[in-house]
């Protein structure tokens, strides 16, 4: 998808579809008024007749007029976005993007960013538009012998009201394009089945990013992990015929002595639960247990595309979790890279077992901040549902930065506690720590487990179990939280 920007009068542009906004009560926006005049007053007549009401997300397609260079005009209700804010605006742009994706058109001109929104400037409005269009036009057919007919929409031009606005907006478009490319990469990786997207496949994709985006890539094999005493991570891979891979991607955009931000993503390419076997129903979706790792791929590709003046390290520990004679058993005790011993009470709580060694390894970079991302617990889905990712942190400033980036991109998150009282649930009579803490507060105790391996660092954990995947859909992976992570890094690079 190619995204362009123009400050020219959109009514004079030749386009397959011109998109204009209608406010609550049928009030025409500036571009809608111009289009109405060019089209002989038809938009106002449709408003007067009740065909167009302006409620948020409502749409109506109007065929082209002889006096207009647009082949068709799509009216989109904006509701009271100018008063109430981003929720109604996002509903409107999502509706417009879905309609455009279904049309047999090659290009479109969209004027919705011209209209004021209560709590969003023009750059933020453009980002929301760009994300909506890229999401609506996403397709995944890599594993089909007969490819789906590609949606023809290839170019979208966003209109802004003045050249002064376009100066700020061009940066927003560039960032949105990079983030959208990162989201697509993340979704493609996450949607691939476990027999294709293995740990070795992920390592190969990192090598591709090295060639295409200039990242420095290092892949550690199991022999090297053994030398580093990553006993927790390797205990998970013992049940699989696929060798584990420890993938490191580095973007060096600042001075060598600048401390990096480290992103650590869970890369479980398939999770059957191990000996603590998951129920059969829905297990096919456990290919998505590497969405955390995929989000690190997406964020690093976006950062490299933008050339951010920042040092960023992405780490993806990757394995499978399967039942086997060599697999972890409930009651086993393993020794992590940190030296801490872990009693494995449930083999299906394996994500934290691979992440803890990755977090210990990350210490060598002396990070300015470290964020791990994982589809870690069903308990987080119970707590927050699907709108928000869970955030846990030992540093208030870092947590606030992540939450703010989520609000900017509408890739939202919510902070949950890490109180000492929850650590009591992880006590073990046989090891330093148990890998699960019982039924209560499962997302919290999982984060508490990880916090034991990050005591020397400013750290945050994101549980994306509820946000990274849409069950029973053709598109599956959402690509979240690539927008949040990339915006977080953009913000840090400009501060």
pLDDT given for residue 85 in this prediction: 85
The pLDDT assigned to 161 comes to 79
**Domain covering 2-160, topology:** 3.40.220
Reply yes or no on whether the pLDDT at 389 is more than 60.
yes
Quick one: CA torsion of 282, 287, 293, 299, rounded to 10 degrees?
-90
H-assigned helices in 214-285: 222-227, 231-237
pLDDT of 151 higher than 80: no
CA distances from 360 to 14, 61, 89, 274, 300 (A): 57, 56, 43, 24, 21
What does the alpha-carbon distance between residue 451 and residue 309 come to, in Å, rounded to a whole number? 29
* 252 part of the active site: no
Q: Which of 91-95, 165-169, 405-409 has the lowest mean pLDDT?
A: 165-169
pLDDT, residue 84, reads 80
Backbone angles phi, psi at 165, to 5 degrees: -65, -35
**Is 278 annotated in the active site?**
yes
245: DSSP letter: E
Q: Which whole number is the average pLDDT over 76-82?
A: 91
The per-residue pLDDT for 163 is 65
Catalytic-role residue among 34, 266, 352, 410: 352
Percent over 70 (pLDDT), the chain: 99
Locate the DSSP E strands across 289-356.
311-321, 333-335, 341-343
Q: What is the pLDDT of residue 119?
A: 82
Mean pLDDT of 243-269: 98
DSSP string of 301-317, one letter each residue: HHHHHHT-SSEEEEEEE
Secondary structure class of 121 (helix, strand, coil): coil
pTM: 0.95
**495 falls in which pLDDT band (50, 70, 90)?**
confident
Query: What pLDDT score does 127 carry?
Result: 93
Question: In terms of pLDDT, which residue wins out, 282 or 148?
Answer: 282
Which of 71, 252, 278, 340 is flagged as catalytic?
A: 278
- The predicted-structure confidence for 302-354, as pLDDT tens digits, reads as follows 999 999 999 999 999 999 999 999 999 999 999 999 999 999 999 999 999 99
CATH fold of 187-494: Aminopeptidase (3.40.630)
Quote the CA–CA distance of 184 and 456 in Å, as a whole number: 34
Q: What is the tens place of the pLDDT at every residue in 426-481?
A: 999 999 999 999 999 999 999 999 999 999 999 999 999 999 999 988 889 999 99
Sequence-ordered list of residues with C-beta below 8 angstroms from that of 416, at least 6 positions apart, any chain: 383, 390, 391, 392, 443, 444, 447
Nearest by Cα to 444 from 467, 468, 417? 417
pLDDT at 164 over 60: no
Burial class (CB in 10 A: 0-12, 13-18, 19+), 368: middle
Kindly list the domain boundaries of the chain, sorted by start residue.
2-160, 187-494
């Amino acid at each position: 998808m190619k995204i362009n920007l123009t400050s020219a009068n959109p009514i004079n542009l030749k386009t397959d579809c011109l998109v204009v906004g209608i406010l609550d009560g049928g009030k025409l926006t500036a571009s809608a008024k111009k289009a109405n005049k060019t089209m002989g007053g038809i938009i106002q007549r449709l408003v007067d007749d009740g065909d167009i009401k302006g409620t948020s997300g409502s749409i109506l397609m109007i065929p082209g007029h002889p006096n207009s260079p647009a082949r068709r005009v799509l009216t989109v209700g904006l509701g009271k976005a100018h008063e109430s804010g981003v929720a109604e605006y996002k509903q409107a742009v999502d509706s417009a993007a879905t309609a455009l994706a279904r049309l047999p058109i090659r290009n479109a001109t969209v004027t919705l960013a011209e209209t004021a929104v209560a709590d969003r400037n023009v750059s933020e409005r453009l980002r929301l538009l760009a994300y909506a269009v890229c999401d609506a036009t996403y397709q995944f057919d890599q594993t089909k012998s007969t490819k789906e007919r590609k949606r023809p929409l290839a170019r979208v031009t966003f209109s802004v009201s003045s050249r002064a606005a376009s100066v700020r907006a061009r940066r927003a478009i560039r960032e949105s394009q990079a983030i959208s490319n990162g989201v697509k990469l993340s979704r493609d990786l996450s949607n691939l089945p476990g027999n294709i997207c293995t740990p070795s496949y992920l390592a190969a994709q990192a090598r591709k990013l090295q060639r295409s985006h200039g990242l420095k890539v290092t892949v550690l094999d199991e022999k090297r992990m053994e030398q580093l005493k990553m006993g927790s991570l390797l205990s998970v891979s013992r049940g699989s015929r696929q060798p584990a891979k420890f993938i490191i991607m580095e973007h060096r955009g600042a001075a060598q002595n600048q401390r990096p931000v480290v992103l650590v993503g869970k890369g479980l390419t398939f999770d059957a639960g191990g000996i603590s076997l998951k129920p059969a129903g829905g297990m096919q979706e456990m290919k998505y247990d590497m969405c955390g790792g995929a989000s690190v791929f997406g964020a690093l590709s976006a950062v490299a595309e933008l050339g951010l003046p920042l040092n960023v390290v992405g780490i993806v520990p990757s394995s499978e979790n399967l039942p086997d004679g060599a697999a972890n058993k409930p009651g086993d005790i393993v020794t992590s890279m940190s030296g801490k011993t872990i009693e494995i009470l449930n083999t299906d709580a394996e994500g934290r077992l691979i992440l803890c060694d990755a977090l210990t390894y990350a210490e060598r970079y002396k990070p300015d901040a470290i964020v791990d991302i994982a589809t870690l617990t069903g308990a987080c889905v119970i707590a927050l549902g699907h709108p928000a990712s869970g955030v846990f942190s030992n540093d208030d400033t870092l947590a606030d930065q992540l939450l703010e980036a989520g609000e900017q991109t509408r890739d939202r998150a919510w902070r949950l506690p890490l109180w000492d009282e929850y650590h009591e649930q992880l006590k073990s009579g046989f090891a330093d720590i148990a890998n699960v803490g019982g039924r209560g507060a499962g997302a919290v105790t999982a984060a508490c487990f990880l916090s034991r391996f990050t005591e020397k660092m400013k750290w945050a954990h994101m549980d994306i179990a509820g946000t990274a995947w849409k069950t029973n859909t053709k598109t599956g992976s959402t690509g979240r939280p690539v927008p949040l992570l990339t915006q977080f890094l953009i913000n840090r690079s400009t501060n």
